[in-house]
Structure 1
Amino acid sequence: MPNSTKRGRRILAAGARTIGRGIVRTVTRSDAGAHWARVGGDWYETLGELKGAAMKLGQLASQYHDVLPPELSKQLARLQADAAPLPWERIREVLDGQWSAHQWQLIAEIEHAPLASASIGQVHVATLRDGRKVAVKVRYPGVAAAMDADINNLGRMLRMAGILPFDGDSLKAVLEEVRERMAEEMDYQREREHL
């Protein structure tokens, strides 16, 4: 994942493009549906590549299909199912940084293609030396460190672009809810204990 400064620039650049497209649409009186589809496509690509809190907020926004333009909501809804995984080489780097030699020795084989991928991580199937199959859930590098900055940058951008029909206090509450859910989702140790 890019560092938080680059992530912030990408979020703010997408916001600036949204504002710019809105001005052009107003001046040219172009089709609103096509406009929102382009805006949604841009946000889908930007948030999908950034993953983490940025992608999670896009997923959440897609659920407001009753208040968002349908073309925008449709594009953001793609974030629910289209979380592109990181390549195995990047995942291997994460595991190498977190696992001891002893932990690696317990693994007979690990599938390089993920079983599933989402906004903050992906799951790989592994076979232990004793033959048991296990799920290895890997959090994307940099997700936790970028969470607060992503949420703050997205909040700024959403206020500027006016994409979501919320007043300042409502948007603040939504962003705080995202922050809490993200913190829970990123706590893989807590999740393991609850299993």
Structure 2
Amino acid sequence: MTEQPTLAGRIARFARVGANLGGFATGVAAARMGGRSLDDPRNAAELKRVLGELKGPLMKLAQILGNIPDAVPPEFARELAELQANAPPMGPGFVRRRMSGELGPDWRSKFVDFTPEAVSAASLGQVHKATLSGGETVAVKLQYPDMASAVEADLGQLDLLLSLFRRVDGSIDTSQIREELASRLREELDYGRELRHLLLFRAMLEGEPHVRVPRPFPDLSSDRLLTMEWLDGSRLLEWKDRDPVIRNRIAEALFLAWYRPFYRMGVIHGDPHLGNYSVAEASPEGAVVNLLDFGCVRIFPPRFIAGVNELYHAIEADDDERAAHAFEMWGFRGLTRDIRDVLLMWARFLYAPLLDDRVRPIDLDGRPGEYGRETARKVHAELRRLGTVTIPAEFVFMDRSAIGLGGVFIQLGAELNWSALFRSLMDDFDEAEVARRQAEALAESGLSLA
């Protein structure tokens, strides 16, 4: 059963987070009296420091906000995107209590070996390595205590952050962004749902030679515990100085691992940062990548995918009317011609490598950590001048994921014909067939459209 938030837990978390953010807000107010503007880079740097000390869900939310172009003012986006979702692991007492609570007091007998120290720790939980009686090596993911309370408390503080950003720059209506973040974060607390995501990805990518998805062990899993196959691999950044041909094969494997599920069933892996992938093997002939985390997954209606294609063709043909139709398919409403032209500035940036039929970097400037920032800054400035635009919920994680994946390609220094890869998937898209496959897969997995 999914853990429910408790009043005591929410109050404790709210008090701690509120005190830190309250101190930040007081400092900003004092600085304003001294002549410092709200959008001063020093305010953004201080907010990053405060959130980094808090850890937990709010830091994760802020990191995601920093990676959604146009969600927050540019001065804050840069700092928030650099937040690291690392946390000190919980000790052996927590491990014993969590494992006993989820698998029973004899939980240790279910493993031949269980490493008491966490091999990794993040915002919502930590991972241990273990061995089963059949010889399988597994990763055991444990959720931290009272995370449901922490999430609900931190979502309240997210509203405080967003109100601050609106005072700096009201060009983006963040209401749907906020609700999308809340929905995805609550889903991440449900490890039973993540297990179903795993099964969905295994079905979608079955037979694909370029990607591995771990096998889950339902009998050793619950809503707060997920046991899955341990996939050996090396970190992506360990390959950044290797032979460019090999790096290109790794990037190609990642591209297909991400875009094939989207075009087959409207599903994206919504958290494409470096820690969620590893390299199983790589050579000039090809690469195999591991997908490691399935907490943040977004499922789109087939019409949204059709809108992605429609906008591609609109930009290719420089057809404004077709672009307007594509934005409507994505969920944008009531756009003026001027605001649509500004959004097209961003869309042309995103689609540029997919329209350029040649081998090239994903970003011709190739600056890690800066992918899209200059364009986002220009878009923000124009929207600030023209008025407020509401970003549809479906757009939030698609946009963030595309930018996150592009940042990974820049880190690898990859150069590919992105257009040829994309067209091979896009040209095979059939909306009715995707709808049929999606309906079958969702019914079988117990999932639903986001």
- State TM-score, norm by structure 1: 0.78
Are the aligned partners of 1:65 and 1:73 in contact in 2 as well (CA < 8 Å)? Answer: no
Q: Establish whether residue 170 from structure 1 lines up as the match of residue 182 from structure 2.
A: no
**CA deviations over 1:59-94 (Å, ceiling 9, x no partner):** 212225763325x733552234x2332233323221
Aligned to 1:74: 79
RMSD: 3.0
Deviation at 1:107, TM superposition (A): 1.0
Q: Establish whether residue 94 from structure 1 lines up as the match of residue 59 from structure 2.
A: no
User: Match for 1:34: what amino acid?
Assistant: R
For residues 168 and 184 of structure 1, what CA distance do their matches in structure 2 show?
29
The structure-2 alpha-carbon separation of the partners of 1:120 and 1:105, relative to structure 1 and needing over 3 Å to count, comes to same
Runs of 4+ in structure 1 off by over 4 angstroms are 163-169
Aligned to 2:146: 142
Q: Establish whether residue 16 from structure 1 lines up as the match of residue 22 from structure 2.
A: yes
Deviation at 1:16, TM superposition (A): 1.7
Deviation at 1:34, TM superposition (A): 3.4
> Secondary structure in 1 aligned to 2:138?
strand
For residues 42 and 150 of structure 2, what CA distance do their matches in structure 1 show?
32
User: Match for 1:26: what amino acid?
Assistant: R
**Which residue of 102, 115, 124 maps to 1:111?**
115
* Bigger-Rg structure (1/2): 2
Deviates more, 1:121-130 or 1:158-167: 158-167
- State TM-score, norm by structure 2: 0.37
The structure-2 alpha-carbon separation of the partners of 1:165 and 1:92, relative to structure 1 and needing over 3 Å to count, comes to farther
For residues 43 and 88 of structure 2, what CA distance do their matches in structure 1 show?
25
The structure-2 alpha-carbon separation of the partners of 1:129 and 1:41, relative to structure 1 and needing over 3 Å to count, comes to same
Are the aligned partners of 2:10 and 2:152 in contact in 1 as well (CA < 8 Å)? Answer: no
For residues 53 and 116 of structure 2, what CA distance do their matches in structure 1 show?
24
For residues 159 and 110 of structure 1, what CA distance do their matches in structure 2 show?
42
For residues 90 and 69 of structure 2, what CA distance do their matches in structure 1 show?
29
For residues 168 and 61 of structure 1, what CA distance do their matches in structure 2 show?
15
What is the total number of aligned residue pairs between the two structures? 187
Are the aligned partners of 1:58 and 1:79 in contact in 2 as well (CA < 8 Å)? Answer: no
**Which residue of 133, 138, 150 maps to 2:137?**
133
Are the aligned partners of 1:63 and 1:77 in contact in 2 as well (CA < 8 Å)? Answer: no
For residues 42 and 135 of structure 1, what CA distance do their matches in structure 2 show?
32
Structure 1 unaligned blocks of 5 or more: none
For residues 88 and 175 of structure 2, what CA distance do their matches in structure 1 show?
29
For residues 129 and 161 of structure 1, what CA distance do their matches in structure 2 show?
53
For residues 164 and 76 of structure 1, what CA distance do their matches in structure 2 show?
20
Q: How does 1:150-189 map to 2 (within 5 A)?
A: 150-155=154-159, 157-162=160-165, 170-189=173-192
Higher relative contact order (CA 8 A, sep 6+): 1
Deviation at 1:133, TM superposition (A): 0.9
The structure-2 alpha-carbon separation of the partners of 1:75 and 1:93, relative to structure 1 and needing over 3 Å to count, comes to same
Are the aligned partners of 1:123 and 1:137 in contact in 2 as well (CA < 8 Å)? Answer: yes
The structure-2 alpha-carbon separation of the partners of 1:34 and 1:121, relative to structure 1 and needing over 3 Å to count, comes to same
For residues 111 and 15 of structure 1, what CA distance do their matches in structure 2 show?
37
> Secondary structure in 2 aligned to 1:141?
coil
For residues 167 and 120 of structure 2, what CA distance do their matches in structure 1 show?
29
Deviation at 1:169, TM superposition (A): 8.7
> Secondary structure in 2 aligned to 1:84?
coil
> Secondary structure in 2 aligned to 1:129?
coil
The structure-2 alpha-carbon separation of the partners of 1:76 and 1:14, relative to structure 1 and needing over 3 Å to count, comes to farther
Q: Establish whether residue 36 from structure 1 lines up as the match of residue 41 from structure 2.
A: no
For residues 181 and 114 of structure 2, what CA distance do their matches in structure 1 show?
32
For residues 179 and 95 of structure 2, what CA distance do their matches in structure 1 show?
29
**Which residue of 13, 31, 47 maps to 1:25?**
31
> Secondary structure in 1 aligned to 2:74?
coil
For residues 169 and 33 of structure 1, what CA distance do their matches in structure 2 show?
19
Deviation at 1:164, TM superposition (A): 7.9
**CA deviations over 1:97-143 (Å, ceiling 9, x no partner):** 22224443111221123232222111111112333211111111111
Deviation at 1:95, TM superposition (A): 1.4
Are the aligned partners of 2:100 and 2:107 in contact in 1 as well (CA < 8 Å)? Answer: no
The structure-2 alpha-carbon separation of the partners of 1:152 and 1:27, relative to structure 1 and needing over 3 Å to count, comes to closer
For residues 14 and 171 of structure 2, what CA distance do their matches in structure 1 show?
20
User: Match for 2:11: what amino acid?
Assistant: T
Structure 2 unaligned blocks of 5 or more: 1-7, 200-450
Q: Percent identity?
A: 25
Are the aligned partners of 1:62 and 1:76 in contact in 2 as well (CA < 8 Å)? Answer: yes
